[in-house]
């Protein structure tokens, strides 16, 4: 079964992907955080960097497009085809209010007829295979029954399902039943995504759905980057793994970005790593408060020195 790294805006950027691949690997595809192309199809300098094939060399990286205008989607897809990308992904899952307020992301699930009109254009004209990452509805899981016939109409390269509604954001339990409805109703390759936080859970879901194309992991891999190594029979996560990963990430960001930006990004990772560490929170807080690189490195070093690996290192969902 294939293993995919979930796209996470502001986190799983090109530098992160390269460092993860070098240190842990085991990922068949990295889905890139979304770009929302304007009608002029111009990208910022940062987006150009992220999307450039050089920065993604050696990885199977899939650009993700957030668009409600099929012409914007197709223009962006043509650009990615020209750059040599083999496929693109359509974002139908983003729950953020700034995105749904513009009718994009998960807001496109609200009106199945409008979604059909959009997908008619996309699948009728795309230069590349198009996979879709979706939720199961906007407000209610019952919406899924109206969305399944829409998805069954198109040659979807892979359908990645996060079986929550938009209104759940990431709260509550995924609707496994909705995923099973998709298994029964759809012929396209399916990928399960959501709350795969431990090797045990990954194995359970593999056993429950042995014929699906793959699994996609996000927060689980950020808090325990060795989850898939463990699934393959390798060693569970150690404190040394996290320290080396942390140091590689810091060095890579420091070499590329402004030092304050590099530290800001490390704060994001540290919050995820902290889930897998047994350490008094005051040491994490100190590291999160340190903004200057030297102060940050001292505080993070102190935090790691005081920490032990948690008994069951994993992402812990907030209540
Ligand atoms: C901070 C953050 C940023 C995210 N950015 C994206 C994104 O750019 N595109 C996307 O399709 N999903 C995005 N997601 C959703 C994840 O790809 C994934 O579906 C979600 O985290 C659930 O999977 P998990 O339980 O394995 O983390 C984001 C999630 C988080 C928490």
List the CATH number of the domain containing 144: 3.20.20.70
Q: Please write the tens of the pLDDT for every residue from 254-292.
A: 999 999 999 999 999 999 999 999 999 999 999 999 999
pLDDT score for 86: 97
Say what the pLDDT of residue 41 is. 85
Atom of ligand 1 nearest to the CA of 195: 25
Flag whether 319 is in a domain.
no
176 and 243 in a single domain? The answer is no
- Number of compact structural domains in the chain: 2
- Predicted confidence (pLDDT) per residue in 46-85, tens digit: 999 999 999 999 999 999 999 999 999 999 999 999 999 9
Tell me the pairing of strands 308-309 and 277-278.
Answer: antiparallel
User: Residue 247: its pLDDT value, please?
Assistant: 98
- Looking at the fold, whether 252 and 149 belong to one and the same domain comes out as no
Residues of the chain with pLDDT under 50: none
User: How many C-beta neighbours within 10 Å does residue 76 have?
Assistant: 23
pLDDT at 186: 98
| Inside any domain, residue 316 | no
Atom of ligand 1 nearest to the CA of 32: 8
Could you tell me the distance, in angstroms and rounded to a whole number, from the CA of residue 305 to the centre of ligand 1?
31
**Do 210 and 277 fall within a single domain?**
no
Residue to mutate (ligand 1; options 6, 63, 215, 318; most atoms within 8 A of CB): 6
**What atom of ligand 1 comes closest to residue 6's alpha carbon?**
17
Instruction: Tell me how far apart the alpha carbons of residues 116 and 84 are, in angstroms, rounded to a whole number.
Output: 28
Distances in whole angstroms, Cα of residue 127 to Cα of each of 34, 56, 64, 157, 259: 19, 21, 15, 13, 40
Does one domain contain both 283 and 300? yes
150 assigned to some structural domain:
yes
Residue-number span of the structural domain to which 296 is assigned: 239-309
Domain boundary among 202, 231, 260: 231
Beta strands in the chain (DSSP E): 2-5, 29-31, 61-62, 64-65, 88-92, 130-134, 159-161, 190-193, 214-217, 277-278, 308-309
Same domain? For 136 and 254 the reply is no
Residues 222, 281, single domain; the answer is no
Task: Give the atom of ligand 1 at the shortest distance from the alpha carbon of 34.
Answer: 8
Same domain, 196 and 145: yes
Residues 87 and 209 in one domain: yes
Q: Are residues 282 and 172 in the same domain?
A: no
Mutate which of 218, 221, 269, 318 for ligand 1 pocket (most atoms within 8 A of beta carbon) = 218
Distance CA 233, CA 211 (A): 21
Residue 314 included in any domain: no
CA of 133 to the centre of ligand 1 (A): 10
Which residues form the pocket of ligand 1, taking CB atoms under 6 Å from any ligand atom?
6-9, 11, 33-34, 64, 91, 93-94, 133, 162, 193-196, 217-220
Do 21 and 40 sit in the same domain of this protein?
yes
Residues 180 and 133 in one domain: yes
């Amino acid at each position: 079964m294939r293993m995919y790294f979930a796209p996470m805006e502001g986190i799983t950027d090109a530098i992160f992907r390269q460092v993860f691949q070098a240190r842990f690997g085991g990922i068949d595809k990295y889905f890139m955080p979304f770009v929302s192309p304007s009608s002029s199809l111009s990208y910022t300098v940062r987006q150009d960097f992220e999307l450039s094939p050089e920065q993604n060399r050696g990885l199977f990286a899939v650009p993700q497009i957030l668009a409600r205008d099929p012409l914007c989607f197709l223009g962006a897809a043509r650009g990615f085809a020209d750059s040599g990308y083999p496929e693109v992904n359509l974002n139908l899952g983003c729950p953020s209010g700034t995105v749904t307020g513009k009718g994009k992301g998960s807001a496109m699930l609200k009106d199945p007829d409008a979604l059909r009109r959009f997908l008619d254009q996309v699948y009728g004209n795309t230069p590349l295979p198009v996979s879709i990452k979706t939720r199961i509805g906007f407000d209610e899981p019952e919406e899924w029954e109206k969305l399944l016939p829409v998805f069954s109409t198109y040659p979807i390269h892979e359908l990645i399902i996060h079986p929550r509604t938009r209104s759940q954001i990431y709260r509550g339990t995924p609707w496994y039943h909705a995923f099973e409805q998709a298994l029964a109703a759809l012929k396209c390759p399916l990928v399960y995504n959501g709350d795969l936080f431990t090797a045990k859970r990954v194995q359970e879901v593999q056993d429950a759905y042995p014929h699906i194309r793959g699994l996609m992991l996000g927060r689980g891999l950020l808090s325990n980057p060795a989850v898939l190594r463990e699934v393959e029979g390798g060693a569970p996560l150690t404190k040394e793994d996290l320290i080396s990963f942390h140091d590689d990430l810091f060095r890579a960001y420091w070499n590329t970005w402004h030092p304050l930006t590099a530290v800001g990004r490390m704060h994001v990772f540290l919050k995820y790593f902290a889930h897998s560490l047994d350490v008094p929170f005051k040491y994490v807080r100190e590291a999160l408060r340190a903004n200057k690189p030297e102060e940050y490195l001292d505080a993070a070093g102190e935090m790691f020195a005081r920490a032990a690996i948690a008994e069951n290192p994993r992402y812990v969902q907030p209540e």
